[in-house]
Copies of this chain bind each other. A is one copy, B any other.
């Protein structure tokens, strides 16, 4: 058993999904690891990781539209569900920053998957996505930890 740590650097294109499955597979290949555990962690607090469908791109459109409505940019919905949104108190980094922190908290910043035959063990319709929650494109750094043989 050995371990290998590496860093991925992913350029996002503003709010939405970047499929990073192939980038992870390249890192696994470089490590020479065949069977093991891969743990991925995103080193930011305004983007996250999600595993979802890789087939119909409209799934991702609906996911993005849903999260945009669930965590409105204008502020917190009143508990009653009615009346005006209450603006966020943290607003120094732009109107899209605080909703991005909340969307991150509602999804995942780290995830672990098995590796077999040098590849992630995923279902047929699964891909690993980096989910950018900020409006503009960003360069995002992820740490990848591999343990195995």
Interface residues of A (CB under 8 A from B): 1-3, 5, 35-37, 39, 41-45, 50-53, 56, 58-59, 61-63, 65-72, 74, 76-79, 81-82, 86, 88-90, 92, 98, 101-102, 104-114, 116, 121-126, 141, 143, 145, 147-149
Contact = CB atoms under 8 A, between A and B. Distances in A.
A62 B63 CA distance: 23
A135 to B, nearest CB: 15
A3 B61 contact: no
A98 B147 contact: no
Nearest to A91: B58
A107 B105 contact: yes
Contacts of A67: 105
**Of A61, A82, A105, which is in contact with the most chain B CB atoms at under 10 Å from its CB?**
A105
A39 B104 CA distance: 19
14 contacts: A3-B35, A3-B149, A5-B35, A37-B145, A41-B112, A45-B59, A52-B105, A56-B92, A58-B90, A62-B90, A77-B81, A81-B81, A121-B143, A121-B145
A56 B147 contact: no
A119 B137 CA distance: 30
Contacts of A123: 42-45, 141
Contacts of A110: 51, 111-113
